[in-house]
Amino acid sequence: MFAKILKPNLVVRRSLMVSASLRYKDPVYHVFLDKVREYRLKSPKGKPIDAGPEYEAELKEALERLALQYGGGEGIDLTQFPKFVLPDIDIDPISVLEL
């Protein structure tokens, strides 16, 4: 009974070990890693590579549209947390007791 339970577990474990070691020998995997490293070296700041003026204009237009949609505009920095101003209210202690 226990042999029937343990045997499939052993087979799954062995197949996982074999597939994990094959991943590092796969030539397509190495080409993919090389391309990712090459892209990272070309663009260290995270910006797109070979982006032309059309891309920059489209990005600026999209950011302005989002700023206007979410309450931004000229002179408003949406990256800062808003500062709330709560006025001090004078409460008459006598009227509070009457409630």
DSSP assignment of the chain equals -HHHHHHHHHHHHHHHHHHHHHHTT-HHHHHHHHHHHHHHHH-TTSPPTT--HHHHHHHHHHHHHHHHHTT-BTTB-TTSPPPP--------HHHHHT-
Is 0.75 topped by the overall pTM? no
Amino acid found at 70: Y
User: Which tens digits make up the pLDDT trace of 59-79?
Assistant: 889 988 888 888 877 777 777
Query: Which are the contacts of 23, defined by CB distance < 8 A and separation ≥ 6?
Result: 29
Tokens of 69: 């949609």
- For residue 64, what pLDDT is reported? 86
Tell me which residue has tokens 């474990």.
13
Q: pLDDT-based confidence at 89, cuts 50/70/90?
A: confident
